[in-house]
Every structure is written in structure tokens, then in C-alpha cells.
């Protein structure tokens, strides 16, 4: 019973976190999404101008300046008003932030699963288990050489963040039109792939 309750609690926690992430990306709360979006972009743009060490140090100094100033302010206010409210961050200091052994095991299992799946897929592609899939992968890598020549890693990360916060909203508003164009593109791609499979010996997939 206890194990079942723990599993149910974990699933509920995961569903809640997933729901919050979706609400964030779909701008359900404009202020919250705007704050997260602008903060992440500011951090990434800062990394384009300064080193990771410098950005980390400046962020730590800014946080310490805010917390120290607030602590001093509350201490002075308590002294003037002759009250004893205690430490202003007492609730946060008493908050449990340590990961449990079950949580560590769960995340480790997920990482292990993703790693094994990734290694198996790469082995399948590089050893040409399916010729068409390996050719698609080769084309993708070839296209990425041009992307890498135009953008660095941070620029791609900035573009990814912008896409994460804009594309879901655009898709939600124009889902019918986007699905129509995606369907047409998919049909054309499948047609080209079918022609390649028909002409290249050994490229045709085995029927399952």
C-alpha cells in the first residue's frame, strides 16, 4: 500500500510539473512566462559577451547583494519596532531540498534508459541496418555542417529558447493551416523516399 501511494504521489508530482511547463510555454500566465523567457534570454546573451565563470560570479553577487540587503533591512526594522519575527528566510532555510534515494534512483534509471536507447540508435545508423535511415542521418549531418558554419552553440541555444516560447503559441493559433502544410510536406518526402527505395537495391524496408 505504501509503495502504491509513493508511486501515485510521484506520478502526480510529475504531472503537476509537466502541466506547469506547458502553461509556461503556452503563456497561460503572461507575467510568469515573460519573466522566465526574459531571464533565460538575458543569461544566454550575457554568456555571449562574458565567460561562464564571470556570469556565474555576477549572478551570485547580485543574489547575495539582494539577500544581505534584505536581511539587514529586516534586522533594522525589527530593532526599531522592537519585534522578534526571527530570521526573514527561516521558512526557506527549513525547507527540505535534499534528493531522496528513490528520486536519485528514478532519475538515474531514466538517464540510463535514454543513454542505452541513444547508443542502440546510433549503432543502427552507423552500421547501416536500414540504408534509408542511414542516408537520412547522413543528409542531416551534412546540413548541420552548414548550420555550424553559420551559428555557434550559444546562438543555436538562443534560437531554441525563442522557438520554445513562440512556436507552441503560433501552432495553437494556426494549427489547421500548419497541419495542412506539414501533411503536404510529409507526403512529398514519403514519395521521394519511396522512389529511392524502389531504385536502390537493399534500400526497401523489410515488411514486419
With H, G, I as helix, E, B as strand and everything else as coil, classify residue 27: coil
Which residues does 84 contact at the CB level (< 8 Å), separation at least 6?
Answer: 78
Grid cell locating 138: 547522413
What pLDDT does residue 191 have? Answer: 83
- Give per-residue burial for 56-84: e unless 16+ CB within 10 Å, then b: eeeeeeeeeeeeeeeeeebeeeeeeeeee
Contact at 8 Å (CB) between 33 and 173?
no
What pLDDT does residue 207 have? Answer: 47
**Candidate from 12-21, 28-37, 51-60, 191-200 with smallest mean pLDDT:** 12-21
What pLDDT does residue 124 have? Answer: 93
Taking the C-alpha atoms of residue 126 and residue 143, their distance in angstroms, rounded to an integer, is: 17
The helix-helix angle for 175-199 and 153-173 (nearest 10°) equals 120
The DSSP symbol for 106 reads H
For residue 202, is pLDDT > 70? no
Average pLDDT score over residue span 125-153: 88
Q: Note the pLDDT tens digit of each residue in 1-41.
A: 554 555 455 555 556 677 788 888 888 888 988 999 999 99
For residue 182, is pLDDT > 70? yes
- Percentage of the chain with pLDDT > 90? 24
Q: Note the pLDDT tens digit of each residue in 114-137.
A: 999 999 999 999 998 888 888 889
Question: Count of residues for the chain?
Answer: 208
What pLDDT does residue 203 have? Answer: 58
Q: Note the pLDDT tens digit of each residue in 73-99.
A: 988 888 888 888 788 888 888 888 887
Taking the C-alpha atoms of residue 67 and residue 88, their distance in angstroms, rounded to an integer, is: 10
What pLDDT does residue 7 have? Answer: 47
Taking the C-alpha atoms of residue 178 and residue 160, their distance in angstroms, rounded to an integer, is: 19
Half-sphere exposure of residue 128: CA atoms within 13 angstroms, side-chain side? 7
User: Chain-wide mean pLDDT for the chain?
Assistant: 84
Amino acid at each position: 500500500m505504501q509503495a502504491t501511494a509513493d508511486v501515485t504521489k510521484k506520478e502526480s508530482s510529475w504531472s503537476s510539473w509537466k502541466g506547469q511547463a506547458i502553461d509556461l510555454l503556452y503563456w497561460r500566465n503572461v507575467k510568469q512566462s515573460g519573466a522566465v523567457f526574459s531571464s533565460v534570454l538575458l543569461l544566454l546573451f550575457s554568456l555571449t559577451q562574458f565567460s561562464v565563470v564571470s556570469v556565474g560570479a555576477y549572478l551570485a553577487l547580485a543574489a547575495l547583494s539582494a539577500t544581505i540587503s534584505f536581511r539587514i533591512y529586516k534586522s533594522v526594522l525589527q530593532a526599531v519596532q522592537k519585534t522578534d519575527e526571527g530570521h526573514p528566510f527561516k521558512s526557506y532555510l527549513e525547507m527540505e531540498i535534499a534528493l531522496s534515494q528513490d528520486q536519485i534512483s528514478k532519475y538515474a534509471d531514466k538517464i540510463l534508459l535514454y543513454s542505452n536507447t541513444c547508443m542502440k540508435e546510433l549503432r543502427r545508423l552507423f552500421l547501416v541496418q536500414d540504408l534509408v535511415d542511414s542516408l537520412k542521418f547522413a543528409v542531416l549531418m551534412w546540413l548541420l555542417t552548414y548550420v555550424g558554419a553559420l551559428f555557434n552553440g550559444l546562438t543555436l541555444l538562443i534560437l531554441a529558447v525563442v522557438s520554445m516560447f513562440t512556436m507552441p503559441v503560433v501552432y495553437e493559433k494556426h494549427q489547421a493551416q500548419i497541419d495542412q502544410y506539414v501533411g503536404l510536406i510529409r507526403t512529398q518526402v514519403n514519395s521521394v523516399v519511396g522512389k529511392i527505395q524502389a531504385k536502390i537495391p537493399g534500400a526497401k524496408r523489410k515488411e514486419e
